Amino acid sequence: MATELSEQELALADVRQRAVADLEQIGTTEDLEEWRTRYFGRERGEVSAILKGLGKLPPEQRKAVGQAANALKAELEGLMEARGQELRAAERLAALDRERLDVTLPGRRAARGHIHPISQTIRDISRIFRLMGFQTLDGPEVETDYYNFQALNIPVDHPARDMQDTFWVVPGQILLRTQTSNNQIRIMEQVRPPVRAIVPGKVYRHEAIDASHEAMFHQVEGILVDETCTMSDLRGVVTRFAREMFGANRKVRFRPSYFPFTEPSAEFDIDCIVCDGKGCRVCKYSGWLEMGGSGMVDPRVLRGVGYDPTIYRGFAFGLGIERIAMLRYGIDEIRLFSGNDLRFLRQFT
């Protein structure tokens, strides 16, 4: 019996010796977890196996071996806990070393954002018209058929509707606005004359996308209503804008045109900023660049918002913002503005 007890004690001593030696070699908490599994794992742990085997020993040996095994387990668990504290402390210090700031190092320059060229163009347009007394207002992009067409003297059967391929949300009722002219009506409904405002914003048309056309683009609508304004005042405002935006020597010409909500109507051009009106590929060798449409507000439109056309008169004009930006920056591809290519956008820092 004494010989068998000594064999059990020798087995426990061997486990202790190997466990302590392995523990001293451990360098990380992950390795410590593997050590715990090797000796205390429920399925294959060496100490756990000895404790499970107590039931197979003769009754007279079971008590002594059990006490020795439990003592070994308590000792190794204490050593494991102490080693774990050392490893965790060392890992925390290492993490702090990695995160510690060297205040003597030069600082890293923060990346600077910048304004998108279309947003910058809108700001510049607003600034120019603000100097002429115009407010910058906003309006809805999802619009009713009434404000986008009918109130602008474009009834349901009007052929001008065919000029604007429309994105309908609810066919015949709700749409994505095809022009910012819808805000003429909204502004005049809310404000009594004098009225002087511009409305920049997105517009939507179901068009084939190419180098000069997008399905979503930007326009700015301007309107002025008082008792005395004339076509001459309209020309003066447009000319002042063109010279502020493109240079003091710009020339402006008006060409007769047609818009359902203005009468008379005109399109206006500036002399080519590339060739100074001599003729080049940009202006198609005409010497002129088309800028937008304009005209005196039709009396029926004034009457529809409650203005007396025998007392008040007004003019309106519309400009394509991408068109202006392309001319300012020498860009011949409209899709670059919406492509989010950082190589393109960083040029405008």
Segment 38-56, tens digit of pLDDT: 877 777 777 777 777 666 7
- CA 163 vs. chain centroid, Å, equals 32
pLDDT-derived band of residue 332, with 50, 70 and 90 as boundaries?
confident
- pLDDT score at 19: 80
Q: What is the pLDDT of residues 189-202, one digit of tens each?
A: 999 999 999 999 99
**Are 224 and 315 in contact, with CB atoms under 8 Å apart?**
yes
Average pLDDT, the chain: 86
DSSP string, 186-244: HHHHH-PSSEEEEEEEEEE-----BTTB-SEEEEEEEEEEESS--HHHHHHHHHHHHHH
pLDDT-derived band of residue 267, with 50, 70 and 90 as boundaries?
very high
- CA 244 vs. chain centroid, Å, equals 31
Pair of tokens at residue 278: 């001599």
Choose which CATH entry (3.30.930.10, 3.30.465.10, 1.25.40.10, 1.20.1070.10) describes domain 117-348. Answer: 3.30.930.10
- pLDDT score at 163: 65
- pLDDT score at 263: 92
Closest CA to 193 of 219, 220, 227: 227
pLDDT-derived band of residue 281, with 50, 70 and 90 as boundaries?
confident
**Rounded Cα distance, 71 and 10, in Å:** 14
- pLDDT score at 45: 73
pTM higher than the cut 0.85: no
**Are 151 and 211 in contact, with CB atoms under 8 Å apart?**
no
- pLDDT score at 8: 67
DSSP string, 11-22: HHHHHHHHHHHH
Instruction: Please say whether the dihedral angle defined by the alpha carbons of residues 318, 321, 323 and 329, taken in this order, is positive or negative.
Output: positive
Does 126 score more than 70 pLDDT? Answer: yes
pLDDT-derived band of residue 282, with 50, 70 and 90 as boundaries?
confident
Phi-psi region of 274 (alpha: psi -120 to 50; beta: other; left: phi over 0): alpha
